[in-house]
Structure formats: structure tokens, C-alpha cells
Amino acid sequence: MILQVGTQAICNIITNNQIAIDFIWKIWMSNQQRGYIWSLILSKNILAAILGDIERLHGNEESKNFELGYTIFSELISFGYFKKLYTQIDDFSDKILISDHQTILLKFLDSKIHAYKGDFPDFIRQEELLFLVQQLQIVAKETISIILSVKETTTDLQAEKVTNTYTAIILLLQMLNELFVMDENHKHGIKKMLVDVNALSMVTDILGNLESIKLPPVEVENPLVGFNFLKRECVRLMGTLCYKDKDMQDKIREIGAIPLILCQFKIDDSNPYLREYATLTLRNLMENNVENQKLIEELQPQEIVESKELSEMGFKPELTPDGKVRIKRKE
């Protein structure tokens, strides 16, 4: 009863009082033990309800409810509750791979990581790192399965069934790529975790299967249709893994991934900066690696693919008898 009356009294004091709200929130949530109590007060059902409403509120610029919801989860993540939230927010994880609530949690974590200004996010501990890598392994397998189903059945992608998987693989790759770069001295062990789950082969499989299907033109309103950003994030991870690492450089060559990387030297509206990341990856692959340099030197162009941009300018590429590419004006 005392707790109920005290809580109600605080609510009455801070209602419509922005100064009081800011003060109470700062004092209360700055204490880790209080944050734990806060997480107990917010039951799973209440948290799930907030997450369910957040996507709808995001487009309402006049409402502060989205900001409040984000702040609640941001603080819980800061106190180390991301894994617990992600694994316990829903009761039907055995029926679907990624729920809507879990997708939103991934978006929140991605936002916090990319907004972090220090050396390495203090809210990302070893437990969270390992969990993210494990989720990448799980979601990558499902992503490959989806791409193969599109390739084999030649049917339209059923977006409502795979949207969360697509969103999850992009967010997981973005977060791990960003954290990998932050972990410059390998103090947090991200690289070892990725190597242990064979992440290189996973992203190579994804990239290879994407290259084997004809993707539709980029659609800003529906990025899933063209698997937007997925090639870029795969190439980015490959480049970071092989940076100053002879074993990784050799493995990329041995699994036949070098031609795949060379195929990414193109302008792709579905994957902004893909060519730039491919350039960096190729540079990392060849650094102090004679075998890779020799392989790339021996590669010969097999065919010319005419691009829309060149065609609109009145030009077309042509493969000469000596294996060189020449641009000529259309007749």
C-alpha cells in the first residue's frame, strides 16, 4: 500500500511538469539497481505492448510517446538487458524465427551502437557480442534458404513471411561490422567469435546465391524485393575479416570468393557504396599475399554486361580479342 501511494504521489507531482519529469527520470534511471527494479515493474506483457505500439507511433512527429518508449528500452539495453528482452519478449519463438517485437529491439540496439561516440559501447558486453554472433549464424541460414527458394521456384517473394528475417540479417551485419571496426585491437574478441561460427563462408554463400538470381530494380518503398544493402554488408564483413590476416586472405581464395568480390565493382542502387567496399576488400585481400595477387592477375573477362547508364548515354562496352574492355558509341 505504501509503495502504491508513494508511486501515485510521484505521478501526481510530475504530471504535466516537464522539469520534474526530467529530474525524476535522470535520478531514477542513473542508478543500475533502480534500473533493475524498473525492469521488474515493467512486466513482459507491458513491454510487448509498448513495442507493439512503437512502430505505429514512429510516423507521428507530434507524439512524444515514441520517444518515451525508445528511452525506456534504451535504458534497459544500457543496463545489459538486451539478450533477456530479445529472448523473453515473446512466447512463440519456436513458431517463427524473428518476431515483430524482436525486430524492433534489433533496430533500437543498432541505433544505440551507431550513435555511440566512444571507443567501444560500454553496453555491449561479451555476452551480448556472443549472442549477436549466434543470431547472425541462425538468421544467415534462414536468409540463404529464402534466396534459394526464390532461385528454385522463380515465384514472387512473399514479403509478409520473410520481412523480419531480411531486416534482421541486415541489422545484425550492420551492427557486427560496426563493432568489428571499433574493436581495432581485438580486445573484445569479435573476430574470433565470427571465425568460430564460420561467418566468412556464411556471407560468401549469401553473396554467391544473390549473384545467381536476377534481382528486380531497386524499390525505395520495398527494399526487401531486391535484398537491398545485403551485398554491401557481406562484402564489408569479408574485407574486415581478411584485413592483415593471411589465413583469412587464403581462405577467401580457397572457397572461390575472389571472383564474387570482383563482380561487385559496379554501381548498384540497391547497395550504396558497394563498389567502394569491394575496392577496399580487394586491397585487403592482395596485401602481402602473392597467391591472391597472381590469381587476380590471371583472371580474364568472360563476357560484357551492358549497363543501363552507358546505354542511356549512347555507349556500349565491347570485349576485344585480347581480353580488354573497350567503350564505343552505339551506331
The pLDDT-based confidence of 154 (bands split at 50, 70, 90) is low
Which of 206, 241, 204 has the alpha carbon at shortest distance from 227? 206
Distances (CA, A) of 35 to 43, 106, 119, 303: 13, 20, 24, 61
pLDDT at residue 78 greater than cutoff 80 = yes
Q: What is the pLDDT of residue 152?
A: 72
Total residues belonging to the chain: 331
pLDDT tens figures, 30-49: 555 555 545 555 567 778 88
Q: Report yes or no: 213 and 255 within 8 Å, Cβ to Cβ.
A: no
Q: What is the pLDDT of residue 19?
A: 65
Which of 147, 239, 232, 229 has the alpha carbon at shortest distance from 200? 239
The DSSP secondary structure of 206-224, one letter per residue, reads HHHHHHTS-PPPP-TT-GG
Q: What is the pLDDT of residue 136?
A: 97
pLDDT at residue 20 greater than cutoff 80 = no
pLDDT tens figures, 243-270: 999 999 999 999 999 999 999 988 888 8
C-alpha cell at position 231? 551485398
pLDDT tens figures, 280-327: 999 999 999 999 999 998 887 666 666 666 677 777 777 777 667 677
Q: What is the pLDDT of residue 248?
A: 97
How far apart are alpha carbons 129 and 122 in whole angstroms? 12
Q: Is 317 exposed, middle or buried (0-12, 13-18, 19+ CB in 10 A)?
A: middle
Q: Report yes or no: 275 and 266 within 8 Å, Cβ to Cβ.
A: yes
User: CB-side exposure of 93: number of CA atoms within 13 Å?
Assistant: 12
pLDDT at residue 3 greater than cutoff 50 = no
pLDDT at residue 171 greater than cutoff 80 = yes
How far apart are alpha carbons 65 and 62 in whole angstroms? 9
Q: Report yes or no: 274 and 264 within 8 Å, Cβ to Cβ.
A: yes
Amino acid found at 100: D
Q: What is the pLDDT of residue 191?
A: 96
Q: Report yes or no: 42 and 51 within 8 Å, Cβ to Cβ.
A: no
pLDDT tens figures, 176-202: 999 999 998 899 999 999 999 999 999
Which of 155, 175, 252 has the alpha carbon at shortest distance from 208? 252
Q: What is the pLDDT of residue 118?
A: 87
3-state SS assignment for residue 273: coil
pLDDT tens figures, 79-127: 889 999 999 887 554 567 888 899 999 999 999 999 998 899 999 999 9
C-alpha cell at position 210? 544473390
Q: What is the pLDDT of residue 294?
A: 94
How far apart are alpha carbons 97 and 94 in whole angstroms? 7
In sequence order, the β-bridge partners of residue 326 are 318
Sequence-ordered list of residues with C-beta below 8 angstroms from that of 302, at least 6 positions apart, any chain? none
pLDDT at residue 12 greater than cutoff 60 = no
Q: What is the mean pLDDT of residues 145-158?
A: 72
